[in-house]
Amino acid sequence: MLALKQDHSQLVVLSVLAIGPSYGYAISKDIAARSEGHFKLSPSGMYPLLTKLEKNGLITPSWEEVKAAGADPDSSGRKRKWYTLSAKGKKQLEQSIERHRQVQSLLDGFVTPSSESGLATG
Amino acid sequence: MKKISLQPKYKVESSSKDSISTWLDVLVGMLVMPDSQRTQVRDELEDHLRSRVDDLLIVGKSEPEAIQIAVAELGETAELAKLITHAHQHSNPRRKMMNIALITVALAGMSFGGFSYINGTGAPGATPSNSGAIPVVIRESPQQRDMDNQTHPFDLSMVSMKKILIAIGDAFDKDIKFSEHARTGEMQGLLTSHIEKFQGEYTFDDAVRALNASFPEGLYGYRLEISDNTVLLQSDDEYQRSLVELRVYEIPSQFVAPSMRNDFARSIEDLLRVKFDLSYTSIQVVSGSMVVAATPEIHNKITELQQELDVVFELRAAKNKQDNDEYAVRDEQRLIEHKKKVAAAKELQLKAIDRIQEEFNSVRNNLIGTNSQMGIESKAIMDLSKQLRTQGSTLSPDEKEQIQHEMTQRGAKHTELEYLHEEYQARYIYLRDRLIDSQYAPLFENLD
């Protein structure tokens, strides 16, 4: 399993929220599922990151009351904090994706057949 | 997009609820932030833990085991508390709202055109960027300085920040004061945090530095304000707010319309935001002036900006004046040139009239001349004709022929004179009309 770096974490979280609103635990599960378990964003990395993204206006929070199945309908449930990608966040995500693609393309230039042949002969 | 509510399938029992709540209580106690934010962090982490426990129960874990795993996954409690606190302290939009509220309250008592201060407990000369170990120190008395420079031994174990502070106060004979946030529990996490030991021979400054090394201000979000006899512990938020001053700035007179004045204020704000954190700054346009609530550092920058803008506006005004002066000189020159041209044209016109008049006089004389000559020739022909009629019988044929020849010659001359006379007459009429035109021309010009 690979631990995500800060820059990648932001890109990954914003990408998850680009699909639709989500909340902390669901985001972490989504990341693990979409990377087939290869990526892990720990809660101690994710919640400060979500706070930072919220403060910077990239995501907007909203609250929902959630009740356990079978719970007393009159009792109060726990609160769930949902995050939605803001217009600013969408723009930031597009820029991050563009940067990521440029870096990837540059890196591809270093692992062309010549390096592969070097590996093969080595 | 519609939210999908993922409802937990299992209801966590009260015993597990208690153990999760206990853990959350510990974590929240370590957070250094206002109560409202602390509650939100707690709610969010509770949702995370309970969702995780629900999932683990589904895959067959026992309840205590599930809780243990869920909590362990969150990492070391103190570390998580630090990281969350740090993330919250980096930017706080609420502070801006506070400043706007402060303006509203303070506007009633402020004096336009000068400076008015609110919350004047701010330390003179201190700035928010002052990040030394002793952030705010106001000392005046030499005796106190001597006392502070003496060393005192400290040997404290498993001690809270609050107790260290009180020990320092006792050692150096200073009152330890706690701000409203410290008294009302907003800084509970900081005050109850413990360190293993606080030991050493310290002067006052060294003791404060050692305290700061154990409880870094930036991380815990507090400030110490030190004077001769007191040490005030306050939250970073309170400290920043204490520095906020209200000042009224005149907007340059070029910006007349309200929208232009608002644009001016927003431009200043945008320029400042490039370099400064404006969490404790509010810029509003009130009655045509720009009212700014901000720290002295920001005010100094605005004053600097305003002075630079004044220079730019003065230069522009000077350039405009120079351009206008140049246009005025150029216009005057053009007017002089125009007048010269008009005068020259007038002179040419007068010369032309003189020439016409001269020619007119000459043609008139010629007309008189041709008329007179034609009269002479007519009379001569009539005399010759009369001589032929009266003396015809007495004249020889040669004499008759000579008289007839002379009559023919004079007739031809008369005819020639008639042609010439007609030409002179046509020229005379033409020149007379031109003279009449030239005499009436000034009259028509005036009528136009």
Per-residue pLDDT of chain B (448 residues; tens, 9 = 90+): 434 343 444 444 444 456 888 888 888 888 888 888 889 999 999 999 999 998 999 999 888 888 888 888 888 777 888 888 888 875 444 343 333 334 333 333 333 333 333 333 333 333 333 333 334 454 456 666 777 888 888 988 888 888 899 999 988 888 888 888 888 777 777 888 888 889 888 999 899 999 988 888 878 888 888 887 889 898 888 888 888 888 888 888 878 888 888 888 888 888 888 888 888 888 988 877 888 888 888 998 898 888 888 888 888 888 888 889 999 999 999 999 999 999 999 898 888 888 988 999 999 999 999 999 999 999 999 999 998 889 878 888 898 899 999 999 999 999 999 999 999 999 999 988 888 887 776 665 656 5
CB contact under 8 A, B47 and A52: no
Please indicate if any CB of chain B lies within 8 Å of the CB of A20: yes
Answer yes or no: do B74 and A43 touch at CB < 8 A.
yes
Residue A51: which of A24, A88, A30 has the closest Cα?
A: A24
Q: Residue B187 — φ and ψ, nearest 5°?
A: -110, 25
How many Å lie between the alpha carbon of B227 and the closest alpha carbon of chain A? 35
Judging contacts by C-beta atoms under 8 Å, the chain B residues touching residue A78 are 43, 46-47, 50
pTM beyond cutoff 0.80? no
Place of tokens 């399938």: B9
Q: Shortest Cα distance from A36 to chain B (angstroms)?
A: 18
**Chain B: residue whose CA lies nearest to A82:** B3
Spell out the long-range contacts of B436-442 with Cβ–Cβ below 8 A and sequence spacing 24 or more: B438/B349, B438/B352, B438/B353, B438/B356
With CB atoms and an 8 Å threshold, state whether B44 touches A47. yes
Instruction: Provide the token pair at B47.
Output: 């949702």
List, as ranges, residues 30-89 from A with C-beta within 8 Å of B: 42-44, 47-49, 51-52, 55-56, 63-64, 66-71, 78-82, 84
Q: What digits encode the pLDDT tens for the residues B335-354?
A: 999 999 999 998 988 888 88
The pLDDT of residue B104 is 37
> Which of B3, B12, B43 comes nearest A79 by C-beta?
B43
The string of pLDDT tens digits covering residues B31-81 is 888 888 889 999 999 999 999 998 999 999 888 888 888 888 888 777 888
Q: Flag if B73 and A78 touch (Cβ within 8 Å).
A: no
- Tokens representing B373 are 């000559």
Prediction ipTM score: 0.86
DSSP letter for each residue of B365-428: HHHHHHHHHHHHHHHHHHHHHHHHHHHGGGS-HHHHHHHHHHHHHHHHHHHHHHHHHHHHHHHH
- For residue A2, the model assigns a pLDDT of 61
Q: How many CB atoms lie within 10 A of CB B431?
A: 20
Please tell me the distance in Å from A56's CA to the nearest CA on chain B: 8
Residue carrying structure tokens 């004044």: B310
Residue A81 has φ and ψ, to the nearest 5°, of -100, 115
pLDDT for the residue A107: 85
Query: Which pLDDT score is estimated for B3?
Result: 41
